[in-house]
């Protein structure tokens, strides 16, 4: 990405200060809050906030609001994102100050990991009950990998990311991954999982699937992994996702076929008890997606389906003209 001279100079001026360079180096290792940075740098909150504002204004850092918190990370989409990464690369690995910063960063990450572990312990039984209703996760993940391997995927958007598992699966094979979720607790777990896997190219954001917190970003693939059944309006959620899908990009819905397990609605807040092929095909067509053959993974009593669609900007199907889909059984 090219950058004009004014932006370049603004970025260089913003980075040309010891604390701000330390902040950039720390944020290259993951998303951090003002509180995290205050503890690591041993500086006051107003001073750290001032440094962060200058770095964000210069496009060297990106800021994402999540409830009462704001997370900062090294820029990825701004004009000066490349400059930001280049400057961090110049930070000496053996520098004493930087080494101490990284040691303190590990304490921050360990505290997050402990919180995530506690959340898992409290909810493990509830999640296990759902998993026991359908085929094992590895089979589902394998079908998703097979589907997305049909085309090159450099950027992946995972909507309803939960623990960030889909980003973990594809993290090493993509350039960039973003996960969206409405649960602060799940986002905390996802951050820990991505950090433990060393996937600095992947991060998560708080947001609603009907109003994605993305600004002029685009992806080669979008996934809804067991998430669409929470949507009030699945058609609207799919249309919103397609806005950020590159031409020729692939959107994949992984969810349940129609079922009668009412407990999932009452106890687990599922808005929909599965979807049929015709409904998915119709929503895809309305959003400008060409439906491909779905994969069915029969379980007891739930069957998981993988519905792929390709963004077709040449001939967008009209609502009601969705093509029928011949299923593939696995």
Quote the CA–CA distance of 113 and 107 in Å, as a whole number: 10
Quote the CA–CA distance of 80 and 87 in Å, as a whole number: 11
Could you give the 3-state DSSP secondary structure of residue 77?
Answer: coil
pLDDT tens figures, 180-215: 999 888 998 999 999 999 999 999 999 999 999 998
Taking alpha carbons only, the member of 184, 151, 186 closest to residue 165 is 186
What does the pLDDT average to over 268-274?
90
Find the helix packing angle between 34-41 and 96-131, rounded to 10°: 140
Give all domains of the chain, ordered by start, each with its CATH number: 5-103 (1.10.10.10), 133-329 (3.40.50.150)
Contact 255, 302 (CB under 8 A): no
Find the helix packing angle between 81-89 and 5-15, rounded to 10°: 40
Contact 256, 297 (CB under 8 A): no
- How many alpha carbons lie under 13 Å from residue 184 in its C-beta half-sphere? 9
Structure confidence at residue 66 as a pLDDT band (50, 70, 90): confident
Quote the CA–CA distance of 168 and 155 in Å, as a whole number: 13
pTM for this predicted structure: 0.79
State the alpha helices, DSSP H only, in the chain.
5-15, 18-27, 34-41, 45-57, 81-89, 96-131, 137-148, 165-170, 184-196, 234-242, 263-268, 277-286
Say whether pLDDT at 118 is over 90. Answer: no
What does the pLDDT average to over 25-29?
93
Contact 119, 189 (CB under 8 A): yes
Contact 190, 164 (CB under 8 A): yes
pLDDT tens figures, 132-165: 888 889 999 999 999 998 888 999 999 999 999 9
- CA dihedral 274→178→319→326, nearest 10 degrees, is -60
Contact 212, 241 (CB under 8 A): yes
Give phi and psi for 222, each to the nearest 5: -130, 135
Structure confidence at residue 2 as a pLDDT band (50, 70, 90): low
Q: For residue 206, count other CB atoms closer than 10 A to its CB.
A: 18
């Amino acid at each position: 990405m090219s950058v004009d001279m004014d932006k370049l100079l603004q970025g260089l001026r913003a980075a040309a200060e010891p604390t701000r360079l330390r902040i950039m180096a720390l944020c290259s290792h993951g998303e951090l809050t003002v509180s995290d940075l205050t503890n690591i740098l041993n500086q006051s909150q107003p001073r750290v906030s001032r440094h962060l504002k200058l770095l964000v204004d210069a496009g060297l850092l990106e800021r994402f609001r999540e409830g009462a918190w704001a997370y900062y990370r090294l820029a990825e989409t701004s004009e000066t994102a490349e400059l930001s990464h280049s400057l961090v690369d110049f930070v000496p690995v053996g520098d004493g100050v930087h080494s101490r910063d990284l040691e303190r960063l590990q304490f921050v990450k360990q505290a997050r990991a402990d919180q995530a572990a506690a959340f898992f312990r409290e909810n493990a039984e509830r999640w296990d009950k759902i998993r026991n209703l359908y085929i094992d996760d590895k089979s589902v993940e394998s079908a998703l990998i097979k589907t997305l391997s049909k085309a090159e995927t450099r950027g992946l958007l995972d909507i309803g990311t939960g623990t960030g598992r889909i980003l973990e699966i594809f993290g090493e094979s993509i350039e960039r991954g973003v996960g969206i979720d409405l649960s602060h607790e799940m986002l905390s777990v996802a951050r820990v999982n991505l950090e433990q896997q060393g996937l600095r190219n992947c991060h998560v954001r708080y947001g609603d699937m009907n109003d994605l917190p993305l600004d002029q970003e685009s992806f080669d693939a979008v996934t809804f992994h067991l998430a669409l059944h929470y949507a009030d309006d699945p058609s609207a959620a799919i249309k919103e996702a397609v806005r950020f899908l590159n031409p020729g990009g692939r959107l994949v819905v992984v969810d349940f076929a129609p079922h009668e397990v009412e407990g999932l609605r009452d106890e687990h807040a599922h808005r929909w008890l599965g979807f049929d092929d015709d409904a998915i095909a119709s929503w895809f067509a309305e959003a400008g997606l060409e439906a491909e053959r779905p994969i069915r993974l029969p379980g007891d009593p739930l069957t998981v389906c993988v519905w792929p669609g390709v963004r077709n900007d040449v001939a967008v199907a009209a609502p009601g003209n969705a093509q029928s889909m011949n299923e593939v059984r696995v």
